[in-house]
Amino acid sequence: MKVAECMSRDVQIVKPDQPIQEAAQFMLRTDSGSMPVCDGDRLVGMVTDRDIAVRAVAQGRGPDTPVREAMSDSVEYCYEDDDVEQVAMKMSDSQVRRFPVLSREKKLVGIVSLGDISRSDTGDAANVALGGITDPGGQHDQSTEPHARTD
């Protein structure tokens, strides 16, 4: 099965010069944690709720900060004619739940999520991707936290 058969074509984008507050408001309305950043019809980045919190707010930047200052500009993506299984493995390797989908002319044509893949005929591919996405990032030691339990 090809990505084009299960992706969402109704993609909302944000422009690099829009304020991060507008991106955050869109994410709130759509219950989404990320959105593509496009300059015209060219994908130039992705901005996530974490980008806004960690790259902008934590550094003291305000709501009028342009998206370009908070976005990730190295973006993992796939093509609409890629196989779903291949994309699921790519999601697993990258540990992301959504990929922008491009035409071979490099124009944004959709977005594919783990949910889209799980509802496809190749739902097993979603299990593979989810396994990689949810792999722990390393040992976590909370004993130095101020409110850690010692009992």
What does the pLDDT read at residue 49? 93
Q: Percent of the chain at pLDDT above 70?
A: 79
* 102 neighbors 77 (Cβ within 8 angstroms): yes
Whether residue 112 lies inside any domain: the answer is yes
Residue 33 has pLDDT above 50, yes or no: yes
Whether residue 146 lies inside any domain: the answer is no
Whether residue 124 lies inside any domain: the answer is yes
Whether residue 144 lies inside any domain: the answer is no
Enclosing domain of residue 59: 3-133
In this prediction, residues 116-142 reach a mean pLDDT of 56
pLDDT in tens, 73-82: 888 999 999 9
* 92 neighbors 133 (Cβ within 8 angstroms): yes
Residue 127 has pLDDT above 80, yes or no: no
Whether residue 149 lies inside any domain: the answer is no
CA distance 103 to 98: 16
Q: Which residues contact 68 (CB under 8 A, 6 or more apart)?
A: 16, 17, 37, 44, 45
Higher pLDDT, 142 or 132: 132
Name which of 125, 35, 25 is nearest 84 in CA terms.
125
Sign of CA dihedral 27, 67, 96, 123: positive
What is the helix (H) or strand (E) element at residue 46, kind and residue range? strand 42-48
pLDDT in tens, 79-111: 999 999 899 889 888 888 889 999 999 999 999
- Across the chain, mean pLDDT equals 82
Residue 149 has pLDDT above 50, yes or no: no
When divided into structural domains, the chain yields a total of 1
Whether residue 142 lies inside any domain: the answer is no
- The CATH number of residue 112's host domain is 3.10.580.10
Q: Percent of the chain at pLDDT above 90?
A: 54
pLDDT in tens, 47-71: 999 999 998 999 999 999 999 999 9
Whether residue 139 lies inside any domain: the answer is no
Rg for the chain, CA atoms, rounded = 17
Owner of token pair 């992706």:
7
Whether residue 46 lies inside any domain: the answer is yes
